[in-house]
């Protein structure tokens, strides 16, 4: 044994070699999270204020309206005949039609569809602009300040969620799927015939997953920093602790899911059954606070929710380990309990 090293060391080395010999695995572990971050980052990037498309009905006083609104960069103004204006409104090509009727006093009429949110918003925006252009003064002075600092953008909310999702997927697919595949290929039966402890095999699978985790997370964090300016406000130690416990928790869940499955179809279904509720509920792409208040405590009990909350607390708020102690304790409990249950129920043949 001295020539080849401890069985645990050999198991870890064999798992690493098996991983890097699969180009498809390399893509899904390292490439896919980057592509997902790029796509969602572009889709929800900071954009200029959306301009209001509006029509002004041609008439004796239409020039007054056009002059006032064209001076405001928020509006795209088109002047047209009454029938054309109404046709454009009916077909959704404009959000609102402004009519300035002939008369002794200047007044305006708004034609808009109250069932269309953009039309309702356009009506309010256009009216404010026209009222201000004609001398209206607000009773209370106000100042508009655009707030788009790093940490407050959607991409800053999204990146921790993507890291959590990747840790969950890597733990379940990178551990559970691999174990069942080894069972199908009769490798587990060969392993059990060697001088190794059963716990050594499971520790090796989890430890190898932790090694793959380092470049996996670094790639996402570095890419997010240079591509989108995402800054981690908390300490590296706190972030590393959260990520490590998250990986351990989902690796344990992956082992438990795969402990009895004998077919790839079975373990795939079980993993999807475990992951799907967390994809939808645990706040990867939007806050789970949007769900009814009665179900929020159940959502918080999910491991991915605890992981995402801890990641955002460290990365966005700069929280330390003490502030996320509850989430870390929950993740550690998930990891230990599932590992012990998997070791007890694991099927080697």
**CATH number assigned to the domain comprising residue 80:** 3.40.1710.10
Q: pLDDT value at position 198?
A: 76
User: How far apart (Å, rounded) are the C-alpha atoms in residues 137 and 94?
Assistant: 29
* pLDDT of 47: 56
What is the percent of the chain where pLDDT is above 70? 83
Q: Taking the complete model, does pTM exceed 0.95, yes or no?
A: no
Per-residue confidence (pLDDT) for residue 2, from 0 to 100:
45
Shared domain check, 176 and 315: yes
Cβ–Cβ under 8 Å, residues 339 and 255: yes
Q: Is the pLDDT of residue 101 over 70?
A: yes
pLDDT of residue 150: 54
- 28-42, 177-191, 314-328: range with highest mean pLDDT: 314-328
Q: What does each C-alpha distance from 166 to 56, 150, 163 come to in angstroms?
A: 51, 23, 5
Q: Is the pLDDT of residue 261 over 80?
A: yes
Last residue of a domain, one of 78, 100, 133: 133
Instruction: Say whether both 39 and 56 belong to one domain.
Output: no
Residue ranges making up the domain that contains 238: 7-44+150-345
Number of domains in the chain: 2
Same domain membership, residue 341 and residue 233: yes
102 and 211 fall within a common domain: no
Claim to verify: residue 101 and residue 215 sit in the same structural domain:
no
Q: Can you name the residues that pair with 98 across neighbouring β-strands?
A: 56, 110
191 and 102 share a domain?
A: no
Both 57 and 195 in one domain: the answer is no
Q: Tell me: the pLDDT tens digits for 4-62?
A: 556 667 677 766 666 665 555 556 556 666 676 667 666 655 555 678 888 999 988 88
Residue 142 lies in a domain: no
Q: Are residues 107 and 158 in the same domain?
A: no
- Provide the 10 A C-beta neighbour count for residue 21: 9
Residue 145 located in a structural domain: no
Pair (96, 201) in one structural domain: no
> Does one domain contain both 109 and 31?
no
Question: What is the CB neighbour count within 10 angstroms for residue 25?
Answer: 17
């Amino acid at each position: 044994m001295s020539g080849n090293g401890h069985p645990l060391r050999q198991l870890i080395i064999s798992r690493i070699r098996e991983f890097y010999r699969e180009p498809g695995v390399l893509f899904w572990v390292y490439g896919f999270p980057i592509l997902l971050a790029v796509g969602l980052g572009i889709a929800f990037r900071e954009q200029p204020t959306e301009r209001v498309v509006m029509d002004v009905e041609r008439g004796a006083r239409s020039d007054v309206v056009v002059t006032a609104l064209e001076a405001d960069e928020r509006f795209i103004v088109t002047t047209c005949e009454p029938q054309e204006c109404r046709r454009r409104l009916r077909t959704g090509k404009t959000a609102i039609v402004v009519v300035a009727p002939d008369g002794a006093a200047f007044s305006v009429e708004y034609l808009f569809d109250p069932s269309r949110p953009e039309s309702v918003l356009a009506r309010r925006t256009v009216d404010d602009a026209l009222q201000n252009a004609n001398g209206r003064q607000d009773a209370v002075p106000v100042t508009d300040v655009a707030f788009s600092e790093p940490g407050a953008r959607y991409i800053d909310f999204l990146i921790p969620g993507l890291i959590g999702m990747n840790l969950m997927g890597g733990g379940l697919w990178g551990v559970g799927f691999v174990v069942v595949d080894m069972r199908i290929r009769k490798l587990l039966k060969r392993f059990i015939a060697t001088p190794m402890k059963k716990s050594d095999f499971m520790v090796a699978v989890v430890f190898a997953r932790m090694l793959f985790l380092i470049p996996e997370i670094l790639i996402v964090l570095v890419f997010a920093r240079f591509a989108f300016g995402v800054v981690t406000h908390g300490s590296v130690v706190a972030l590393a602790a959260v990520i490590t416990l998250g990986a351990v928790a989902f690796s344990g869940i992956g082992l438990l899911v795969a402990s009895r499955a004998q077919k790839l179809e079975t373990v795939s279904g079980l993993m999807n059954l475990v992951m799907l509720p967390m994809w939808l509920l645990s706040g990867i792409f939007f806050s789970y606070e949007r769900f009814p208040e009665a179900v929020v405590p159940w959502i918080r009990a999910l491991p991915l929710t605890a992981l995402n909350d801890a990641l955002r607390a460290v990365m966005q708020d700069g929280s330390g380990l003490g502030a996320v102690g509850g989430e870390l304790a929950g993740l550690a409990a998930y990891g230990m309990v599932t590992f012990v249950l998997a070791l007890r129920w694991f099927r080697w043949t």
